[in-house]
Structures are given as structure tokens and as C-alpha cells.
């Protein structure tokens, strides 16, 4: 299912490139907007019981997922992040953003989902990434190492190229989604 969630996010971003470009130019996180777009995409795909900021109680206490839904006989919990980078690029405002903290939050979401009985899906959009730049792969490796989930570029990521508002520059967004199994 993580591939489906990644594909949904990729399509949303491709369909709304000009809107996303506004966020990218300012390095402004767009997680709140994307949660509702993703929930809507799940509903269009036939999901039921779709909720944003869904809360449920487990043996370990109250658990909150960014998005929850049922598709077929399976229930899914999705944690979503839009971590921004601090790499300098033309057409993007220079702001210092703590990418290390952003990556730590992704790892924390993975650990939270691992404690749930059914696990879940972590999805994130890393932005902005200079065209052709591969530094982001180091963060994918760190997330893999710290969550214990084997991640690779081909199976877990997609890239979306966004033209920036200045009309001359473009940036990539890296979309990643992976399944986190329940850990005992």
C-alpha cells in the first residue's frame, strides 16, 4: 500500500505544481494542505472511514494518525511530513531550516507506528532538492537505519519537478512512502 500512497501524493503534487511552487519558494511546509488532499484522494479511490487527525486508543494509550482509512478489508494509518531542506538554490528564499530535526521527526513517526498493532505507513515530501542532487539519499539511508525498515530509491521514492515562481528555476521534490510493520 505504501506504493499507492506514494503515487497518490506524486499525482497531487504534479496536478498542483503552481500551488506547491509557492511553498517551495519560501521553504514553507505544506503538510496540513497535503493531508486533506491525500485523504480526498483515498476517498476517490474507494476508501471508507477516511479521517484526518484520526485518534484511536490502543493498549499503549491514545494514538493519533495524520490520516486513517479503510480500503477493502484493511485499515491504514498514515503519518505525513513535508520536511524542508536548507540547501541553497536559485529561486528559493535562503532560510535556515533544521533538516536534521525534520528527519528525526520522520524517524519518530516510524517508531510511533511500529508500536501500533497494525503498524502503518510513513510518507514524506522532502523539498526543495536541486535538480540532479543526490544528497537526499543520505537522509533516506539514515531513516532506514534508525527505523529498521529497509528503504531504497526505486521502491520507495519518486521525484516531482516543480517550476519555481521566478520562471527561470526549477526544484525537485522527493516523495517517499514506506510501510512500518508492528514491532513486538
Q: How many domains does the chain have?
A: 1
Residue for cell digits 484526518?
A: 52
Domain span at residue 37?
2-180
pLDDT of residue 150: 94
pLDDT of residue 29: 93
Contact between residue 107 and residue 64 where contact means Cβ atoms under 8 Å apart: no
Query: pLDDT tens for residues 126-179?
Result: 999 999 999 999 999 999 999 999 999 999 999 999 998 777 889 999 999 999
CA distances from 11 to 34, 41, 160 (A): 12, 9, 9
What kind and span of H or E run contains 35? helix 31-44
Residue range 119-127: mean pLDDT, rounded: 94
- How many Å apart are CA 51 and CA 67, to the nearest integer? 6
Query: pLDDT tens for residues 97-115?
Result: 678 889 999 999 998 888 8
Instruction: State pTM to two decimals.
Output: 0.91
Residues 51, 40, 174, 107, Cα dihedral to 10°: 0
Query: pLDDT tens for residues 15-70?
Result: 999 999 999 999 999 999 999 999 999 999 999 999 999 765 444 444 578 999 99
Amino acid at each position: 500500500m505504501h506504493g499507492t500512497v506514494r503515487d497518490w501524493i506524486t499525482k497531487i503534487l504534479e496536478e498542483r505544481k503552481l500551488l506547491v511552487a509557492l511553498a517551495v519558494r519560501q521553504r514553507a511546509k505544506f503538510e496540513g494542505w497535503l493531508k486533506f488532499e491525500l485523504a480526498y484522494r483515498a476517498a476517490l479511490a474507494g476508501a471508507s472511514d477516511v479521517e484526518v487527525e484520526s485518534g484511536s486508543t490502543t493498549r499503549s494509550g491514545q494514538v493519533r494518525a495524520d490520516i486513517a482509512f479503510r480500503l477493502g478489508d484493511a485499515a491504514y494509518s498514515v503519518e505525513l511530513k513535508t520536511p524542508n531542506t536548507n540547501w541553497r538554490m536559485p529561486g528559493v528564499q535562503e532560510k535556515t531550516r533544521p533538516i536534521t530535526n525534520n528527519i528525526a521527526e520522520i524517524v519518530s513517526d516510524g517508531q510511533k507506528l511500529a508500536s501500533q498493532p497494525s503498524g502503518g505507513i510513513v510518507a514524506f515530501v522532502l523539498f526543495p532538492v536541486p535538480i540532479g542532487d543526490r544528497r537526499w539519499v543520505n537522509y533516506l539511508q539514515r531513516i532506514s537505519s534508525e527505523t529498521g525498515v529497509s528503504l531504497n530509491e526505486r521502491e520507495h521514492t519518486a521525484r516531482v519537478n516543480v517550476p519555481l515562481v521566478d520562471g527561470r528555476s526549477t526544484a525537485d521534490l522527493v516523495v517517499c512512502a514506506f510501510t512500518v510493520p508492528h514491532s513486538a
